[in-house]
Structure 1
Amino acid sequence: MKKETLQKRTKIANDIMYYIYTHIDTHIDIEELSIDLNVSKFHMHRIFKDAFGKNIYESIKSIRLQKASNLLLTNKLSTISNIANMCGYSSQSSFIKIFKERFEQTPKQWRIGGYKEYSNKILRQSQKAMQSTADFSNLSPQIVKMPSFKSFYIRNKGYNVNIKDTWQKLHTWVLTNDIKSYKEIALFHDNPTITPLNECQYIACIVPDESENIKSDRLPNFNIASGVYARFDLQGKKGDVLKFIHWVYHEWLPNSEYETTTKPSYTVYKKNNYLKQEDEFDISFYVSIDF
């Protein structure tokens, strides 16, 4: 396959996935999307499945259920029907049926504690996370309003060792384009304490400062959402991050009286362990909140 064709197909697949994530609370019209992208529905489905290993409808279903599973824990004042609507379901009964198929328990059972064992199984998929002795009980966030960031990115399928290769490719792109001033950001479209690690979408992003004039056909770009976030500053070693995200969603958020939204959380690296020999990180982690 020619380089130009591969880049075009990659952009279409990424555009579809980005659209799904940013419109997950609405009815997603595949026909309308194919018109917007100027590609036939047949071609669009084939490109997407080649890129992500599952079809568009399966991905929509999976993302909706993951968002709902988060909101059931954090949005205590929202009814199950409210949460179903927030995630694009028009029928509560169909939502309950599909939720039970995925998580082997009803939304109500999940909400009152069933999530813990399910989530612990995910955590056990990471040997490093299980070895982590980090304690976050005294950690408290700053509440901040963040602007939107234009980012150039590579999407990594899986929360796995391939992330290091992805960051090295991005670093190569930075050096090739002589970019001097930029941020390194990881976007967690999927919550790796609820979604199996090999299915997580981890987005490694470079956010050049506005002074940089970047034009790139090599990497796709999108805007990281503005909004109100809880920011946690954290230092540690590999394995601590997964354990930390587990704590944020299952300890801090449910007890904080804040609600979360369908916007993805993200990490800003001050020290990126994927690009360092010593495997240590210094990050700010942002989780979208509402009150």
Structure 2
Amino acid sequence: MKKETLQKRTKIANDIMYYIYTHIETNIDIEELSMDLGVSKFHMHRIFKEIFGKNIYESIKSIRLQKASNLLLTNKYSTISNIVNLCGYSSQSSFIKIFKERFEMSPKEWKNGGYKEYSNKIIQQSQKAMQSKADFKNIVPTIVKMPFIESYYIRNKGYNVNIEETWQKLETWVLTNNIESYKRIALFHDNPTITPLDECQYIGCIMVDDMENIKSDRLPKFKIAEGVYAKFDLKGKTGDVLPFIQWVYHEWLPKSEYETTTKPSYAIYEKLDFFDEDNEFELSFYVSINF
């Protein structure tokens, strides 16, 4: 396959995935999406499966469940019916059935604390996370209104060792294009503490200060959502991020009386642990909130 053809197909698949994540609360119309992208439904389905290994409908079902399971544990004042509507389900009964199949408990059991055991099993999949001794209880966030952030990106399936390779590729792209002023951003489409790590969508992003001078079409672009966020400043070592995200979603959010939304959280790095000889990082973590 030619390089240009592969880039085009990857862009189509990424555009579909981005659309699903940003329209998950709606009745996603595949016919309308194919018209917007200028690609037939047949080719759209085929390209998506080639790139991501599962079909579009499976992905929509999985993403809806991930979003709903996250809202159930953070939004204590929302009813199951509210969350069903936020995540685009047509009926509460179908949601409960699908939820039980995936998590082996009812949404009510999950909301009442069942998520904790499920999450701890996921954290145990990461040896580095299990070695973390970090304590987050004294971290106090600031509430900020963030503009949308346009960035170049590489999508990584899985919260795993491949993330380092993703950042190496992004760094190569930065150096190749002589980019001097930029920021590194990690976008978490899924909450990695309640999503099996091999299923997480982790996006490595580069926000370039001077976008107009970038001539390269090697990487796709997208926009990280604007909105109101709680911003947490954190310094730590490789392995601390997963326990930190677990603390934000499982302890800070439920106690804060804020609710989160379906917008993904993201981290802006001042120092990236993968490029540091001591494996240390400095970041600001942003989680979408409302009140």
State the TM-score bracket (shorter-chain normalisation): over 0.9
> What is the one-letter code of the residue matched to 1:181?
S
The answer on 1:283 being equivalent to 2:275 is no
Distance 2:211 2:89 in 1: 43
Instruction: Tell me the TM-score normalized by structure 2.
Output: 0.98
- Report the Cα offset of residue 210 of structure 1: 3.8
Mapping for residues 132-281 of structure 1, pairs under 5 Å: 132-210=132-210, 213-281=213-281
Mapping for residues 30-179 of structure 1, pairs under 5 Å: 30-179=30-179
Distance 1:277 1:50 in 2: 37
SS at match of 2:213: coil
- Report the Cα offset of residue 279 of structure 1: 1.1
Distance 2:10 2:277 in 1: 31
Distance 1:76 1:217 in 2: 44
Gaps of 5+ in 1: none
Distance 2:215 2:287 in 1: 30
Distance 2:223 2:282 in 1: 23
Distance 1:225 1:32 in 2: 22
SS at match of 1:283: strand
1:136-163 residue CA offsets vs partner (Å, 9 max, x unmatched): 1111101011111110000011111111
1:64-100 residue CA offsets vs partner (Å, 9 max, x unmatched): 0111011111111111011001000120111111111
SS at match of 1:239: coil
- Report the Cα offset of residue 212 of structure 1: 5.5
Distance 1:192 1:243 in 2: 10
Distance 1:165 1:157 in 2: 12
State the match for 2:16 in structure 1: 16
Kindly indicate whether the alpha-carbon contact (under 8 Å) linking 1:143 and 1:231 is maintained by their aligned counterparts in 2.
yes
- Please identify runs of 4+ aligned residues in structure 1 that moved more than 4 A: none
Distance 1:108 1:262 in 2: 19
Distance 1:171 1:215 in 2: 16
Instruction: Return closer, same or farther for 1:126/1:211 CA change in 2, 3 Å cut-off.
Output: closer
Instruction: Tell me the TM-score normalized by structure 1.
Output: 0.98
Distance 1:135 1:14 in 2: 36
Kindly indicate whether the alpha-carbon contact (under 8 Å) linking 1:7 and 1:218 is maintained by their aligned counterparts in 2.
yes
- Report the Cα offset of residue 277 of structure 1: 2.5
